[in-house]
């Protein structure tokens, strides 16, 4: 059986810096109507970089979770930008590293209320000696952590970021 929801009407309730919020009325498969709260986002790009068994991570304060989180380097796709360009740009800005980036994994972070797509790349042939060059208002520190420690930190709930967790477990499932 195939399901579909048809948009009947929509309004933009907020149009901001990194997201837009639209509230749409839709027709459900049984002909009744419902509301859909839609966060519109331009998408994200991230990079898994493993060097000699160590994972490149950035640590930054995440206001929504009220604490510092470890994540793989990532950022928001700017309007009209290719995701591979975003990934390379964020990797360079946040860590100074340049690399050949190969598509690795694509995730929809939370399917009920955002249209964000996060494209994750894996770094090959990296040049590690560049300098970090953060945007204004961006504060983060960079580290390499052994895969075994990153795995332990996921298991203990210290690392929860979905793009990081899914990329690391993909990597672990392929490299044992």
Task: Tell me how far, at minimum, the Cβ of 39 lies from its own copies, in Å.
Answer: 6
Task: Tell me how far, at minimum, the Cβ of 127 lies from its own copies, in Å.
Answer: 25
Site for its own copies in 21-60 (CB under 8 A): 21, 23-24, 26, 28-30, 32, 34-39, 41, 44, 60
Instruction: Indicate which single residue of 94, 116, 122, 150 sits in contact with its own copies (rule: CB under 8 A).
Output: 116
Task: Tell me how far, at minimum, the Cβ of 162 lies from its own copies, in Å.
Answer: 4
Q: Which two tokens stand for residue 113?
A: 């209320």
Draw the binding track, 57-86, toward its own copies (x: CB under 8 A; -: no contact).
Answer: ---xxxxxx--xx-x----x----------
Task: Tell me how far, at minimum, the Cβ of 134 lies from its own copies, in Å.
Answer: 11
Q: Is 49 buried (19+), middle (13-18) or exposed (0-12) by CB count in 10 A?
A: buried
How many other C-beta atoms are found inside a 10 Å radius of the C-beta of residue 44?
21
Pick left, alpha or beta for residue 51 (phi over 0 → left; psi -120 to 50 → alpha; otherwise beta): beta
Q: Could you give the CA distance from residue 38 to residue 13 in angstroms, rounded to a whole number?
A: 10
Displacement of CA 50 from its chain's centroid (Å) = 17
Q: How many angstroms separate the first and last alpha carbons of the chain?
A: 40
Q: Which of helix, strand or coil describes residue 15?
A: strand
Residue ranges that bind its own copies, judged by CB under 8 A: 1-5, 13-14, 16-19, 21, 23-24, 26, 28-30, 32, 34-39, 41, 44, 60-65, 68-69, 71, 76, 105-118, 136-137, 139-141, 154, 157, 160-163, 165-166, 169-170, 172-173, 176
């Amino acid at each position: 059986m195939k399901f579909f929801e048809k948009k009947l009407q929509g309004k933009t309730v907020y149009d901001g810096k990194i997201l837009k919020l639209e509230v749409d009325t839709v027709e459900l498969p049984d002909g009744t109507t419902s509301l859909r709260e839609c966060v519109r986002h331009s998408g994200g790009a991230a990079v898994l970089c493993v060097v000699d068994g160590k994972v490149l991570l950035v640590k930054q304060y995440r206001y929504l979770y009220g604490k510092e989180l470890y994540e793989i380097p990532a950022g928001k796709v700017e309007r009209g930008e290719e995701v591979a360009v975003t990934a390379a740009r964020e990797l360079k800005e946040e860590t100074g590293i340049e690399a050949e980036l190969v598509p690795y994994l694509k995730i929809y972070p939370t399917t009920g209320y955002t249209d964000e797509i996060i494209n994750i790349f894996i770094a090959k042939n990296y040049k590690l000696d560049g300098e970090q060059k953060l945007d204004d208002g961006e504060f983060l520190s960079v580290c390499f952590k052994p895969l075994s420690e990153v795995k332990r930190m996921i298991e203990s709930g210290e690392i929860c970021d979905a793009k990081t967790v899914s990329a690391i477990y993909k990597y672990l499932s392929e490299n044992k």
